Structure 1
Amino acid sequence: MSSSNAPRRKPFTGWHMTAILVSGFGVVFAVNFLMASLASSTFGGIVVENSYVASQHFNRWLDEAEKEEDLGWKVAVSRRDDGRIAASLDGVPGYPTVMAEARHPLGRKPDTLLKFQEDATGAYVSDQPLPEGRWILRFDVEAGGHTWRGEDQVEGVEVMGQPVP
């Protein structure tokens, strides 16, 4: 068999290399832009207003957190059927003042300030119902001249077997 009947291969040229490089970098840029847009659309906002000022208070915040932990106070939360939040306090003396800021973890719903009053069962119940969904509650409990801060989560209800975000 003669080699003259075999099909001729086209030579690899600079245009081929250019097409490979442009396609490869195009895929990389497309993925980067997609990931950046997804990340920026799910980030709720600022963590701190001014990171330098926050860094100046960091050691003080650590000291306060250690003092709060030494108090031994604990808060457990649950959602009642009427949408209000019930908080049971453990180790808190006297008649505390209980407040919480409810934050949606993805920032899709506005923050809500909750004030708690003791009910007949001894639990502290929020003054208003909290919309359904997942919330992070940042508590401020004041009693006996001490202040305790802590966080807890409240999960939403399920709709057709799926949790409400």
Structure 2
Amino acid sequence: MTTRRHSPREFTGYHMLALILAFFGVIIAVNLTMATLARTSWTGLVVQNTYVASQEFNRKAEEGRAQAALHWQGKLTLADGTLRYELADAAGKAILPTGVKVAFRHPAYDAEDRVIDLVRQADGGFSSQQTISDGVWIVEVDAQTGRERPYRQVRRVIVRNGAIE
């Protein structure tokens, strides 16, 4: 009877190289995956100066509460390349602002951000011919209503196939 004796394999420099490459390959693959997911799904807000934004928060919150007490309803629509805004009071009566600006801001980056001045139409609404690319947007509407501060409406919308959903 013959016994086979297996000698333990020697750990060489090639083994160490393969181990290091596998280790860093996994790290790089995970980082690239996480960066791709963050770039395509993050919907946080980009501000120019976080300190200034934090200092203005309480004032803006108070203005928002005062405005909410009015119970006005703004309606923003985008269809067939026409961006339209109408404003009504708590009773449903139309409010006729002197001017309306609409800012489309992308939540993750500011490359496509834009501000649009709407034009008054004969029926009292405001509109403009616009093409907005599909995606998630933060829309800020400022309507000049004769008050000290403009009536401001901010909401997050999804534009799909050229229309707000």
When normalised by structure 2's length, the TM-score is: 0.67
| Structure 1 gap ranges (5+) | none
Distance of aligned partners of 1:80 and 1:27 in 2 relative to their CA distance in 1, 3 Å threshold? closer
Q: Identify the residue that residue 147 of structure 1 maps to in structure 2.
A: 150
Distance of aligned partners of 1:67 and 1:17 in 2 relative to their CA distance in 1, 3 Å threshold? same
> Aligned pair 1:157/2:155, yes or no?
no
Aligned-partner SS, 1:29: helix
Equivalent residues, number: 154
Choose the corresponding residue for 2:119, options 117, 120, 132.
117
Q: Identify the residue that residue 99 of structure 1 maps to in structure 2.
A: 101
Task: List structure 1 runs of 4+ shifted beyond 6 angstroms.
Answer: 41-44
Q: Tell me by how many angstroms 1:115 deviates.
A: 2.1
% identity of equivalent residues: 29
Distance of aligned partners of 1:18 and 1:130 in 2 relative to their CA distance in 1, 3 Å threshold? closer
Could you give the per-residue CA deviations for residues 69-104 of structure 1, whole angstroms, max 9, x where no partner exists?
2222222222232x1212232217642132111234
| Structure 2 gap ranges (5+) | none
The answer as to whether partners of 1:100 and 1:138 remain within 8 angstroms in 2 is: yes
> Aligned pair 1:133/2:137, yes or no?
no
The answer as to whether partners of 1:93 and 1:144 remain within 8 angstroms in 2 is: no
Q: Which amino acid aligns with 1:67?
A: A
- Separation of aligned partners in 2, 1:12 and 1:75: 76
